[in-house]
Chain A
Amino acid sequence: KNEVEQSPQNLTAQEGEFITINCSYSVGISALHWLQQHPGGGIVSLFMLSSGKKKHGRLIATINIQEKHSSLHITASHPRDSAVYICAVSPSGGSNYKLTFGKGTLLTVNP
């Protein structure tokens, strides 16, 4: 079992829909990252959070440390949001740089 599990693996939505991607992890962490990867490989960091909630534009990320769970929400989705969304965790302790990544969620937003 992977230390970081994402669901769903694939998600197709219509433009304008509210989207939720989930991430569960099994290790103690110091921080959790949400990343966006477009075709061709480039990765962009969306959020880094260790508690509570962060918002940037139409994107919202939440984390529940007790439940070891995080969600990424996209409001008013748009075709340009189509990408792979990856959850990654920094383990607590001395090796916090050694991120463990989920396999990603492929999001397709149709016009």
Chain B
Amino acid sequence: GAGVSQTPSNKVTEKGKYVELRCDPISGHTALYWYRQSLGQGPEFLIYFQGTGAADDSGLPNDRFFAVRPEGSVSTLKIQRTERGDSAVYLCASSLVPGLQNTGELFFGEGSRLTVL
């Protein structure tokens, strides 16, 4: 696609439910990043994929959070037993294969706003 696409744009769920958030990166971008942005804060790193593998998942807050990218393109962020504190905007970004020095230019999706009641 022309840009990074994230679905759903808004998700309201009840505490304890399971949620999946989807990210479709720019075609050809092998690097994919998930960030979480709480109200009034800057985004925080969650996980980085290089191709199909999670190169770094150290930002995932706990084991209720998991992400996959089985074919090296679309990624799904999965949240089990949601809690009110999980409410945030979940941002996905992609870039071409990162150079040795930096991530390369990042292209962000519009984000998925998750509200846990």
Contacts and interface: CB of A to CB of B under 8 A. Distances in A.
Contact of A88 (B42, B59, B104, B105): B42
A66 interface: no
Nearest to A6: B42
Interface residues on B, range: 20 to 34
Interface string A70-109: 0000000000000000101010000111111111100000
Contacts of B101: 30-31, 50, 96
Given A4-B42, A41-B89, A31 B103 contact: yes
Interface residues on A, range: 20 to 34
A40 B110 contact: yes
A92 to B, nearest CB: 8
Given A41-B111, A41-B113, A42-B111, A97 B103 contact: yes
A33 B101 CA distance: 13
A48 interface: yes
A43 B108 contact: yes
Contacts of B109: 42
A104 B111 CA distance: 17
A27 interface: no
Nearest to B103: A97
A40 to B, nearest CB: 7
A90 B48 CA distance: 13
Nearest to A44: B108
Contact of A43 (B55, B56, B91, B98): B91
Contacts of A41: 37, 89, 91, 110-111, 113
Nearest to A94: B56
Given A45-B108, A96-B102, 6 more contacts: A42-B108, A43-B111, A48-B105, A88-B43, A99-B103, A100-B45
30 contacts: A4-B42, A30-B102, A31-B101, A33-B106, A35-B106, A35-B108, A41-B89, A41-B91, A41-B110, A41-B111, A43-B91, A44-B108, A45-B105, A48-B105, A50-B101, A86-B43, A88-B43, A90-B103, A95-B56, A97-B55, A97-B56, A97-B103, A98-B56, A98-B58, A99-B35, A99-B103, A100-B45, A101-B42, A103-B40, A103-B41
